[in-house]
Chain A
Amino acid sequence: MKCIARMMLPLLMAITLLHGVNPLHAQEDSDATPSPEQERKLEWNGNFDVKYTLFHMHESAALYKLQFLVDKPSSSFLTQYRFEPYLNADYRARDLAFYLKTHATYFSDADASVDILEAYGSFNPSFNTTLQAGKRVYNWGKGYAFNPAGFINPVKDPENPELAQAGLLSSNFEYVKSFSSEALQNMSFLFVVMPSSGGASNRFGELKQTELALKTSFLLWDTDIDVMGFYSIQKPKRVGMDIARNLIENLEVHGELTYSANVEKFTIANNVLASSSSSGTSYLFGIRYLHESNTTLIAEYYHNEFGLSESEFEEYNRFLSTHAQSNDPLLIQQTAKLNQSYFRGTNLMKDYLYLKLSQPEPLDLLYFTTSIFTIYNLADKSFLLSATMNYKPVTDIEFILWPTIITGGGNTEYGGKNFRQKVEVWIRVFF
């Protein structure tokens, strides 16, 4: 706890000093022109989450063995208990603004961390233009659970797509223009520069490693259309587009289509790590449908061209299992490291189906919202099935019960996860 306080304090002091001694939320006098002092505003908000998770672990899974190489638990039922404060601040003075979003995780005094999710300054030279610099989250793409067009997005967890995530150190320029035309109603242009900042041990990056991204957005014939591109000499170059439209008043359709050049793909061949380079197209299409009973359905199909095929995944899984069953601690440790470096992410394969049904106040149960969702791997037929029950009996307090089960054979993606079932209980207080 001291560790979190120590890390947060300088940030909070900096913002408070920046704000000076002005009263918060100065009352606006509608008849008088606000003075520059009155136009300075600082607002705080956030939430405090306490999370308890009960896991039923999958002791025979290779990923379990890799994770618990040392201090193997005596039971298959494990728990986690932590709290996660989110603290945000917005400071505005005329055309200048500063935004800060922080997140901390506390397991114990010895195991706590603070992340700056976003910290960036913003300047509006005119109403149409914005310049921003700092650490900022970009969230491109129309998909709910997956975003193949999210070239500079943080890695999304489809189990919790609305989770706040850490942004990217970058600068950007945005221009937006509205039109009174029936066809083209507005368009915007966003140009992002991501300077190279070197590695963890070296603060110098190479100029030629600067990455660039561009997104142009249109509202054309009542349809949202984005066209985007990403340029880097180290990473694959990408171009893509996304689209969203309401077909009828209660049915929305959306899609993303991207082409990536020279993507390095890692596989296991003959029991060693292998890499190959290829180019190809990934895509997503989905719907959001509201039934008259107030039930919302989200359905999405996602194809990742650079994901592992069924046979490649089996080879990878065999590799993990063989090494995890060896009694060689060094080999197990190396395998765990290789897995973390080259096979990160929650969805490693090619084709997925995401389905979510949500219903506010089912059976007239006040303050409840329930939902059920599945992420189904179309290649190996393994899947995750999860339900959430949100209960908000009092303003700004939320209770969440979130059971999850996974199903699949030992050589499948979900069947090979390190747990079989889990139940999460969250208490969330907003301020």
Chain B
Amino acid sequence: MKTLSAIVMFSLLASSGAAQDANKLLKEVDDNLMPESYEANRKLINEEPNGSKKEFTFYTVKKGKDRIAMLYLFPASEKGRSTLRLGDNMWLYVPSANKPIRITSLQSVVGGVFNNADLMQLEYSVEYDATFAEGTEKEYMLNLKAKNKTVAYDKLKMWITKDKKILRKVEAYSASGMLIKTLEFKEDKNFGGGLTRPSVIETYSPLYKGYRSLMMYQTIKKRQFPDEVFTLTYMNRLNELR
């Protein structure tokens, strides 16, 4: 009986230790992707099934684990719009309406494959718990489970390089196990400040046949902001930070 208890205890400790290691790896992946507080300029290209393209550019600021705000710079029809995320809460500010309205993470303000949660992504380790899956010779593979129901995707599969712990691919699944979209992380670039990471995220989805979206990071810079930048009051003033 004592032997059996010892085996059970050992198994529990081992699995708990493995989970801890997986979550530690996930945190490393986050750290290699972005500083905790930063400003970034990004370009989004939505490719439509007929081959035409639509471009958007955004200025993004983030602070801590769960505060992120984004200002639309291009095209002119979207310029001045901004989105704010505080944890699970999201708002959209439209200049003509002149007030923020609550939106959901599943909605897409810009159309195409990316939804608001993709554009206003928090750190993976904030939203998911990780466990190891069987990887390859060069890559770790993690299974991620959402910590709560407000997270846009219930499960993720993640491929990470073993040498530099850089994210290469993410598959996003619904609670029923359906593949919603795939994100591929490409073209490593040195952004300065010791940050080298993929500069292009290519996204496609079986739900949006023929569509493809490319998120291209132009600049990423560590920067600290006052907390008040991440308030509804500040949504129409984000341009002052640029």
Contact = CB atoms under 8 A, between A and B. Distances in A.
Given A249-B105, A366-B50, A396 B232 contact: no
B107 interface: yes
Contacts of B239: 43, 90, 92
Contacts of B194: none
Interface stretch (A54-62, A172-180, A300-308): A172-180
Contacts of A245: 102
A395 B55 contact: yes
Contacts of A288: 101-102
A45 B106 contact: no
Contacts of A396: 75-77
Contacts of A430: 75-77, 79
Interface string B79-107: 11000001111000010111101111111
Contacts of B49: 366
Given A186-B228, A219-B89, A398 B97 contact: no
Contacts of A92: 239-240
B76 A431 contact: yes
A185 B105 CA distance: 19
A392 to B, nearest CB: 7
Given A128-B228, A176-B231, A361-B111, A250 B96 contact: no
A227 B185 CA distance: 46
A178 B102 CA distance: 19
Given A127-B226, A217-B232, A396-B75, A161 B97 contact: yes
B230 to A, nearest CB: 7
A244 B233 contact: no
A139 B49 CA distance: 39
Contacts of B98: 137, 139, 164
A322 to B, nearest CB: 41
Interface in B37-75: 48-50, 54-55, 75
Q: Is the interface of B mostly helix, strand, loop or mixed?
A: loop
Contacts of B99: 139-140
Contacts of B234: 176
Contacts, number: 114
Nearest to A298: B101
B150 A249 contact: yes
B113 to A, nearest CB: 12
Contact of B87 (A222, A250, A395): A222
A185 B226 CA distance: 14
B79 A164 contact: no
B96 to A, nearest CB: 5
A360 B77 CA distance: 17
Interface residues of A, number: 53
A23 B77 CA distance: 23
Contacts of A202: none
A88 to B, nearest CB: 8
A354 B72 CA distance: 30
B187 to A, nearest CB: 21
A188 B228 CA distance: 10
A92 B242 CA distance: 11
A392 B228 contact: no
B227 interface: yes
B106 A250 contact: yes
23 contacts: A45-B79, A45-B80, A47-B76, A90-B239, A97-B240, A176-B231, A186-B228, A186-B230, A188-B232, A217-B233, A222-B87, A222-B88, A246-B88, A246-B104, A248-B149, A249-B106, A250-B104, A252-B103, A294-B107, A396-B77, A398-B77, A430-B77, A431-B76
Interface of A: 28, 30, 43, 45, 47, 90, 92, 97, 127-128, 137, 139-140, 142, 144, 161-164, 174, 176-180, 185-186, 188, 217, 219, 222, 224, 244-246, 248-250, 252, 254, 288, 290, 294, 296, 360-361, 366, 392, 395-396, 398, 430-431
